[in-house]
Amino acid sequence: MFFNSFEEISDIAMGFSSNLQGQASHEALLGRQDAEIKLLDTMRRCLTNKVKSDRDYASTISSLTTQGRKVERSEDLAGSLIAQSWKDIMDSVEQSAKLIKQQADLMESVVVEHISSLHTERRRARKLYQEEHTWLNNQFQQLTDDVARKKTEYQKSLEVYKLMRSRFEEHYVKSGRGGRKLDEVREKYQKACRKLHLTHNEYVLLLGAVTECEHDLRTSYLPSLLQRQQAVHQEFIVTWKSILQDIVKYSDFTTEKFLEIHTRMEKAVDTIKPIDEYKDFIGKHRTRPASPIRFTFEENLIDDTSGKLLPNKLTVDNLTIDWLRSRLTELETSLKTTQLSKQAMLTPPEPICDSKILSVDYSREREELRQRCQEKKLLRQAEVIRGALNELGCEELPSGCDLSMEGSFTEPAVNNKVPLRGVCNLSNNQKGGGGLIEEEWFHGVLPREEVVRLLVNEGDYLVRETTRNDECQIVLSVCWDGHKHFIVQTTSEGHFRFEGPSFPSIQELIVHQWQSGLPVTSRSGAILRTPILRERWELNNDDVVLIDKIGRGNFGDVYKAQLKSSKIDVAVKTCKVTLPDEQKKKFLQEGRILKQYDHPNIVKLIGICVQKQPIMIVMELVPGGSLLTYLRKNASTITQREQLRMCKDAAAGMCYLESKYCIHRDLAARNCLVGYESIVKISDFGMSREEEEYIVSDGMKQIPIKWTAPEALNFGKYTSLCDVWSYGVLIWEIFSKGGTPYSGMSNSKAREKIDTGYRMPTPEGTPDEIYRLMLRCWEYEPEKRPHFEQIYTVVDTLSQAL
């Protein structure tokens, strides 16, 4: 009978696990358990009194049934079929007073004892569930505490590193060439630097590991706990129903009058369906699954490390290479041990039977989770280290390349022996490097991430310039079993080489390497086959003449400039030379996106200058400046027709971007430009992504809160419908003539009010249709917002109607 009942309730086995993961649901479930325990207690007391009243015949029957109807915490049992059935039984008992005496002894010896046993089991099951849920919460807290402790250790190592670096620089300046004191300070500085790098790596590894563990706890263990708990609850209902059936059995009557009463009591019990018992409860207390705990790298920890340490990226150099290899060996050994232990636990668990469902033991599931979590931690850390060791700068650097700290404090060569070093000062090395600018396969200071995009097929290669430890170097990048990067070395005679012969110029070295078909290094096996030439939009820096500074961007200054060849005025965004490669990559992202687009309402890209520093993005010059400035400057003269045309221009541009699966992420009046005849053009694609959906994983520090959709702020999830929300704020700015959204509110206050349903009121003079469009753009659920194609149709229709 148990297994049939279990199969009956299995259809909704996912009810608890998918709908009751939140804290409010947990508290409600505990409340429901308390209410059921109270109900059991009430039933036990009432049936005991019923036996007594049977023996005293019917003198106390009225008070008995009255007491039976007084169920504690009845509000928590709303919709309970058990509670309703109990009430109906009490009504019938009141009518059967004269026949109860015959069944009193059996009622006491069977039913009351069964209820007492169920009551004890119910209390124990509740305690076990609460303890398991508390343990789970403690696991989440422990993960958070582990990250906080490692962060504190990181900060301490960073402080020691800064102090030792300061002392070394001070003694180096004072002592000149050397001395015992300088050696001692240098040793302490190197020790502190090594400690910082190791702590950095441990921090990165820990973040990846706890993320995996937290995900497993939240998506596997918690649903499993709730699923088992639902099985327990429903099996209690099966047992409970059996008790009520016994009550009916021992209240059996033979006369026609009381057979009728008995029939009503049977019907009251038959209405109980374990599968339906918790439907109303789940519907009332439904909550969303628990949000993941986000573990992010604290980027301010590395603000003062000269760009040598990068967030979420292992540092691979001569300070850490041996540690990383040793750590990888340890991880692989531990992983094998964990996997063997995990296999040993694969014996199938005992089948769940009637006696065990009321005594749930989570120890096996907990141990399986621990083994699985440990395996994922080890796998993740091993993968991160393997990836780091396979990148350039570790296994594939050519011989003679120095990765030591002395790159920042180079001392004079001893005994006139000059070691092999990277190519320095390209602009002054005319013989070796000056002519490189004329070579089509030389891509200047194009960042490594952009270079990788160009190298697609095996043997594709190009040459670029980079800086390591404040030293300029020429790098050969090759697509070969992934991507390899080789630093061109100089000899004491000023020639250039890899592992083979040296040549007077870099051009001759590259041509020899290409024509000979020999590997660049024996270990890499990389062979040069196809030179990748500069793209048409890669301009020479000298082709652009900067005229006037007209603004400042996130990465550097913005200039009005002129192209030498055509004398066309252009706008030029520059990137600070001192920015790390990661920031330069983000800077060039705007150019990479814009080069694909051609639309009258999208600012046009003319080219990118990467032949030397500073890197520049060259775009069409839009003379009217930002839309926000234009609105505020012309607030007294701007017409409604002009405002509608601006909305139409912006909608047309965004409709085009949506068709290209481009998410702008920063649409606002400040990022739109006003051209000739007041045409509006979408600009500033620094935060854009070319995806149908984009999940932010690097923090939300630069997010424009008051322009950003709720799902992006709450979950980091971006789609074109997020841009629709921003468009609603943009047209509010247009019709408020440059007003400040959510004026007088902080970012956090505006975000809080939006989540509670607040929407900005309509600006004065705004057509009703436009305000209705704003409200549609500000629908909380993304799927309820219109797409830009619909928006354009609405605005175009209104524009033509004027």
Catalytic residues: 666
End-to-end CA distance of the chain: 76
- CA separation (Å) from 398 to 78, 124, 448, 462, 527? 75, 67, 17, 17, 14
Nearest-angstrom CA–CA distance, 22 and 25: 5
The whole-angstrom separation of Cα 489 and Cα 275 is: 75
- CA of 210: how far to CAs of 51, 217, 464, in Å? 59, 10, 38
Tell me, what amino acid is at 699? G
Tell whether residue 41 is among the known ligand binding residues: no
d(CA 439, CA 461): 13
Burial of 430 (0-12, 13-18, 19+ CB in 10 A): exposed
- 161 three-state secondary structure: helix
Sheet bearing 489-490, strands edge to edge:
421-422, 489-490, 496-497
Cβ atoms of 747 and 702 closer than 8 Å: no
270 is known to lie in a ligand binding site: no
Is 556 part of any known ligand binding site? yes
Give 558's strand partners: 551, 573
Q: Is 494 annotated as a binding residue?
A: no
Give the Cα separation of 260 and 682 in Å (integer): 80
Give the side-chain half-sphere CA count within 13 A for 58. 8
Angle at 661 between CA 777 and CA 622, to 5 degrees: 80
Continuous H helices in 250-320: 256-270, 274-277, 279-285
The residue written with tokens 């430009």 in the block is: 673
Angstrom distances, CA of residue 67 to CA of 51, 63, 74, 299 = 14, 6, 14, 65
Q: Are strands 616-620 and 569-574 parallel, antiparallel or unpaired?
A: antiparallel
What type of residue sits at position 630?
Y
Residue 553 annotated as binding site: yes
CB 142 within 8 A of CB 216: no
The tokens describing 289, both together, are 């699954």
What angle is formed at CA 239 by the lines to CA 234 and CA 244, rounded to 5 degrees?
A: 120
For 561, the 3-state DSSP assignment is strand
| Binding-site annotation: residue ranges for ATP | 550-558, 573
Instruction: Tell me the binding residues.
Output: 550-558, 573
